[in-house]
Structure 1
Amino acid sequence: MRWCLSATTLFVFSLLCFSASALTIGAAQPDLYLSQLQGKKVALVVNQTSEVEGTHLVDYLLDKNVTITKVMAPEHGFRGDAGAGETISDGVDTRTGLPVLSLYGKTKKPSPEMLADSDVIIFDIQDVGARFYTYISTLHLVLEAAAEQQKQVIVLDRPNPNGMFTDGPIREEGFASFVGMDPIPLLHGMTVGELAQMMRGEQWFNQADTLELLVIPVANYTKSVTYDLPVAPSPNLPNAQSIQLYPSLCLFEATTVSVGRGTPFPFQVIGHDKVALGTFSFTPISMPNSAPSPKLQDVKLHGQDLRRAANEGFDLTLLLQAFNQFKQAGELFIDRPDFFDKLSGTDTLRKAIEAGQSEQQIRASWQPALKQFKQQRQPYLLYPEF
């Protein structure tokens, strides 16, 4: 109950200041959380996006005499220089000497040993609002581990750059995975702080009702605000356009089509060598820090340049067009159906596409569950939606 009152108080504070001040991320409001860290040993779940006014949160807190025991890093690593799916190894941060422990690889959930010397866990990572972006899966497992080990969690919230959209299928039972742990839509329209509250409130993880959780909201933020990220959230989402297109293009990862990994414009193009999806040509190559072994490496592809496209939200147009072009050409399109279903959170989307349903028919099938989800999430929202 103490946590609920704290979150409500902070939310009211944010609303009162909305019209007078600039947007301020949770980490940049130390007066709201530093008192919680006095005399405590603190573990950080952070990556390269965890910056406060140009300073990394690790350095920011050390300068304020916070006792940090370790850094725990999600997919892409502490510095964000590992490609998608690459195993992240433990190490030491050369700047501070702090141990850096991986939460992507063999260990995705912090073990009791990892948390034994810490009292508080701070989570401060920029999300992009899509269910299959794995930072929120790391959040889920961190919350569960903290609840089981009686550790407090403080989430320093950040805006959702796709926060104006709530769309796509809800993840169904039987399709839970690290690219979809919780029963939320493909585009959930929530911040990490709101999601943490929902995960706890809906008891989506073990011992959720015992977790001491504090969310520091973003001041002066609404979901209608356009927010360009100051730091790329991962190597293959380098700019605002890629983040905007990511929800619509990520399902192509389970097909034979390239989304531009191994080029300077990942998630901003689509292309194939045998089925010409357009007149734009590009050739994926090995890029050690972002795409060591990209799909269709060293092969000239033909497709579409989407760097100035207006697609936003979860747009099925490109996916349905490509499916029909591949069908007409007699070429395999979805080559990893199980992965497609995990990304979708259901097998109904794939089956609807294969059955030739229109985008209108497919979208109509999501609406009852989306309406229910919007009602379910209401108690956990921290910001005006529009």
Structure 2
Amino acid sequence: MRFNVFKNTVLLFVLVMISCANKKGDKKPQNSVAEQTEKQQILKETQNDNSIIVGANQTENYLPLLQGKHIGIVANQTSVIFKTDNTYTHLVDSLATLKIDIKTVFAPEHGFRGKADAGEHVKDGIDKKTGIPIISLYGDNKKPKPEQLDNLDLVIFDIQDVGARFYTYISTLHYVMEACAEQGIPVLILDRPNPNGHYVDGPTLDINNKSFVGMHPIPVVHGMTIGEYAKMINGEKWLNNGIQCELNVIPIKNYTHQSSYSLPIKPSPNLPNDTAINLYPSLCFFEGTNVNAGRGTDNQFQIFGSPFLNPKVFTFSYTPRSNTGAKYPKHENKLCYGINLTQTKPLNHLNLQWLIDAYNNTKDKSAFFNNFFIKLAGTKKLQEQIESGLSADAIRASWTDDLNSFKHIRRKYLLYN
């Protein structure tokens, strides 16, 4: 089954650790709690499919492009080079060790270390480990300013995406490409797998609803890697005034869009595991409603609920609390009624039924949707269809022509089968 390899590896590791602790506990002190936690975290953050080689690991293909140049890097906690011993080093640390002249790190939403809440302001700063300046590309400064690119010869973009239109890393990609194109600076993409790259689905964005959570006329689930998507941005001339960025992509080896790939590092604080990542395109619609999508729990984007849903229909309950990645979750400290989806089988399409059922069973339908919903959906039509009582199948049927049109365009930019 898709995504199971990594989970089995985690279980095996835990059992081995317990066994070793029992055998060695009498001979010498056990590791501190902090050390054990660090080891467990390293295990969670290791590549589990050795046949797939991400772009960053192919140093022989891009180090010659960096020698003697001033480099900028768009990176976060996922920007790593995997080692054969199931550990990793951060791309920035590795290149700094190799004396590559990194002038600036540009950080997307959630920051360079990936710990900030969704939508939280991320400040500029200095990386404590390397001393390299960090410039935030979230908040008021989504697009690098000319002076922030001054003296750079090349910008590397290496961030793990999850393949949903409203996941803002592809918006950051757009602005980086645009700024670099305007300054005549090449962009190098170190490509990584798309965990939701096995399907294309959802309503297509109406450009009148363009925002940072949806900048291009694409479906919610686009089925492309960052490298492929960058090629589409260029090829469809979506950058300002139709300019094009000088682009070079280091492709993934041994990867297809049907490859099973479990993300070894959380791409953001509220996508903690494979199930959350798989459900995210479907459950993120709740961010534009009065329903909590699991923020403030340990099951982010794996459960949903609200105080306003009918407890006779939605029998699962939980209470969101302030936690890492959700300092002020929706319905904080309030009992929510909803559904537990943690055991749901992996999806290969968007699920609208959960959204429709929640709308049909809420106490006050007029308060269900908020203004953010149209930005997430990319169109006013989806809300109107739900409010008019259309079934999930009827709504999905209305996407057919747009999806077929997008898939035809998408083929031109695919690097993988």
SS of 1:214's equivalent in the other structure is strand
SS of 2:275's equivalent in the other structure is helix
Contact 1:123 1:153 in 2 (8 A): yes
Contact 2:207 2:215 in 1 (8 A): no
SS of 1:178's equivalent in the other structure is coil
Contact 1:201 1:209 in 2 (8 A): no
Per the TM alignment, residue 206 of structure 1 is displaced from its structure 2 partner at its CA by 2.2
SS of 1:187's equivalent in the other structure is coil
Distance 1:207 1:332, change over 3 A: closer
1:202 aligns with 2:236: yes
The counterpart of 2:326, out of the listed 282, 291, 313, is 291
1:159 aligns with 2:196: no
Contact 1:90 1:100 in 2 (8 A): yes
Aligned to 1:44: 73
The counterpart of 1:325, out of the listed 342, 353, 361, is 361
Q: Kindly name which structure, 1 or 2, has the bigger radius of gyration based on alpha carbons.
A: 2
Q: Structure 1 vs Structure 2: percent identity of aligned residues?
A: 51
1:342 aligns with 2:378: no
Please list every run of 5 or more consecutive structure 2 residues that lacks an aligned counterpart in the other structure.
Answer: 1-49, 83-87
SS of 1:58's equivalent in the other structure is helix
After TM superposition, what 4+ stretches of structure 1 lie above 3 angstroms from structure 2? 207-210, 329-333
SS of 1:121's equivalent in the other structure is strand
Residues 45-92 of structure 1, C-alpha deviation per residue, up to 9 Å, x if partnerless? 000011111110001111222110010000000000000000000011
Equivalents in 2 of 1:146, 1:331: separation in Å?
A: 46
Per the TM alignment, residue 311 of structure 1 is displaced from its structure 2 partner at its CA by 5.5
Per the TM alignment, residue 332 of structure 1 is displaced from its structure 2 partner at its CA by 4.2
What amino acid is aligned across from residue 144 of structure 2 in structure 1?
P
| TM-align CA RMSD | 1.3
1:305 aligns with 2:340: yes
How many pairs does the alignment contain?
A: 360
- TM-score for the superposition, normalised by structure 1: 0.91
**What are the equivalent positions in structure 2 for 1:105-124 lying under 5 Å apart?**
105-124=139-158
Contact 1:258 1:295 in 2 (8 A): yes
Please list every run of 5 or more consecutive structure 1 residues that lacks an aligned counterpart in the other structure.
Answer: 1-20
Equivalents in 2 of 1:318, 1:286: separation in Å?
A: 25
Equivalents in 2 of 1:190, 1:242: separation in Å?
A: 19
What amino acid is aligned across from residue 291 of structure 2 in structure 1?
V
Equivalents in 1 of 2:79, 2:372: separation in Å?
A: 30
**What are the equivalent positions in structure 2 for 1:69-80 lying under 5 Å apart?**
69-80=103-114
The counterpart of 2:351, out of the listed 290, 310, 315, is 315
SS of 1:71's equivalent in the other structure is strand
What amino acid is aligned across from residue 212 of structure 1 in structure 2?
E
Equivalents in 2 of 1:208, 1:146: separation in Å?
A: 14
Contact 2:359 2:365 in 1 (8 A): no
Equivalents in 2 of 1:366, 1:271: separation in Å?
A: 27
The counterpart of 2:406, out of the listed 373, 376, 379, is 373
**What are the equivalent positions in structure 2 for 1:1-386 lying under 5 Å apart?**
22-53=51-82, 54-206=88-240, 209-275=243-309, 276=311, 278-287=314-323, 289-310=324-345, 312=347, 313-326=349-362, 329-336=363-370, 338-384=371-417
